Structure 1
Amino acid sequence: MQDDDGGRYHDLHPGWDENPIGLERAASLIRTYEVQFVPGLLQTPDYARAVTRLSHDDAREVDRRVALCVRRQALLTAPGGPTLWAVVDEAALRRPIGGSEISRAQLDHLIALSERPHVKVQVAPFHFAGHAAAGGPFTILRFPGRDVPDVVHLEQLSGALYLDEPSDVEQYRQVMDRLCAQIEPLDRTRAILRAIRAEL
């Protein structure tokens, strides 16, 4: 994988057939569901660092991975960038990654991002005992133009899996649609985030 920086992040995504940053930038809509962590595109640098330290001890490696996370987020403010619709499980929002201060700052960041016109954040709260996306986290990337099929991204420990068969994509799209219909509506997001923040 080559990118604008001469491929310096190639080894961070072994097995990916395409430039993940390029795919996100090319998308017109990114829909993602996360269970354990705040989605990478919405993480503060401190939160991203705390998440990365869970599985990496080398300081330089942590710095590189955080830099990649921050670089990916540039698409949220780029002219003509994609719409991001993120569904985050309440467990991820309450998990004290990096400690209470970092968690509160992360929630403040989510509240601010949710006010942007191209960023939608929805919460899957605990009181919904089960929902359509119980199988785990996933991301659907939609691209402009009819010639480019939607892609489902499933992140794994040693890389990532991309699904572009229409039947697979449609299954995940239906799951995402049902999930968004079952959980708290978008206009409740900021109140939920503030309530969680107040309890940390």
Structure 2
Amino acid sequence: MTAAQPSHERRPIQRYLEHSRSGPTALRIVLGTQLRKLREASGVSTKVAAETIRGSHAKISRLELGRVGFKERDVADLLTLYGITDPDERADFLALARQATAPGWWHQYSDVLAPWFETHLGLEESASVIRTYQNQYVPGLLQTEEYARAVTQLGNPRASEQEIERRVRLRIARQEILHQSDPPRLWVVLDEAVLRRPIGGPGVMRAQLRRLIEMTQLPHITLQIAPFSLGGVAAAGGPVTILRFQEPDLPDVVYLEQLTSALYLDKRDDVDNYLSVMDRLSAEAERPVATLPFLVNMLDELDARQG
């Protein structure tokens, strides 16, 4: 891509500025990818690019991977270096840089938010499809407040009551993406063990089952149960989440959460392996039409035991 190309052929940024679902995390990745493409097309080395913005090779790498925010001055200097002189195109890039550095809605919870999880929230709000397998807990996007509180207390035994409540509020706020005008498609495969584990006690589980029944009525949510009768399942190693995006510059991302950290995988081979696992899980689990009677039966069992 050079300055000699027609302006209308090299203004790929506009669609991202207009996309309602693109949050700052996704936009950082998009902007970094576009800047990398411009650098490579202009034949500029990372060393020269780094010197231009008074930084290091590592800084250019982090910028192009979308792992850090952008200063408008740096973006402007790089555009000049790469031969981008069209005023409208430069304005698009600078507008994208401003949006990419805007604080996300979760910024208000920074006192209880781990940096590694912040990335997940940013990707989650921009995803068009979220596929997840869970074998420990109901996924956060589908938890009731009481269930979320019980899970949070288990995972943070030394936290104060105030901190627990802040974490619960954050989890409930995440769920707003499922109720917006253009929600992502959520496809969940849930191990039966999750539903049998009495998190918070019978009352909490009863309310949680009712919530799952309610959410499965929404057209953009698919819930499958992997029953005990399956024996081992394809993803027995642990929970897996795969996020897919409408933006062509955003690759699918595999999210693997650990106790105090997380892995984000976006290399094609890694993603393909996990997509294969997820496809096998979906094929092995009960069909979605069986989910409602399964949940209703479990709810009846709980009621009978309490009766």
Q: The TM-score by the shorter chain falls in which range?
A: over 0.9
**Structure-2 residue corresponding to 1:19:** 119
1:15: Cα distance to partner?
A: 3.0
**Helix, strand or coil: the match of 1:127?**
helix
Measure, in 1, the Cα distance between the counterparts of 2:120 and 2:183.
15
Residues 39, 6 of structure 1: alpha-carbon distance in 2 compared, 3 angstrom cutoff = closer
1:177 to 279, 289, 295: 279
1:3 alignment partner in structure 2 = 104
> Whole-Å Cα distance in 2 between the matches of residues 145 and 3 of structure 1?
19
Give the unaligned 5+ runs of structure 1. Answer: none
Instruction: Give the strand-richer structure, 1 or 2.
Output: 1
Distance change (3 Å), C-alpha of 1:5 and 1:121: closer
Give unpaired runs (5+ residues) of structure 2: 1-24, 26-102, 303-307
**TM-score normalised to structure 1 length:** 0.94
Task: Tell me which of 61, 74, 82 is aligned to 2:163.
Answer: 61
Q: Structure 2 matches for 1:29-44, cutoff 5 A?
A: 29-44=129-144
- Aligned with 1:54: secondary structure? helix
Question: Structure 2: which amino acid aligns with 1:179?
Answer: L
> How do 1:32-181 and structure 2 match up within 5 A?
32-56=132-156, 57-181=159-283
**In percent, how many aligned pairs have the same letter?**
51
Larger helix percent: 2
Which amino acid counterpart does residue 150 of structure 2 have in structure 1?
A
Equivalent residues of 1:114, 1:120 under 8 A apart: yes
Distance in 2, Cα, partners of 1:47 & 1:9: 22
C-alpha displacement at 1:91, in angstroms?
A: 0.5
Q: Name segments (4+ residues, structure 1) moved above 3 Å.
A: none
Residues 3, 145 of structure 1: alpha-carbon distance in 2 compared, 3 angstrom cutoff = closer
Amino acid at match of 1:89: D
TM-score (norm 2): 0.62
Structure whose alpha-carbon radius of gyration is higher: 2
Say which structure, 1 or 2, has more relative contact order (CA 8 Å, 6+ apart).
Answer: 1
* Kept in 1: contact 2:145–2:168 (CA 8 A): yes
Aligned CA RMSD, in angstroms, stands at: 1.6
CA contact (8 A) 2:152 2:168 kept: yes
Question: Partners in 1 of 2:206 and 2:113 — Cα distance?
Answer: 28
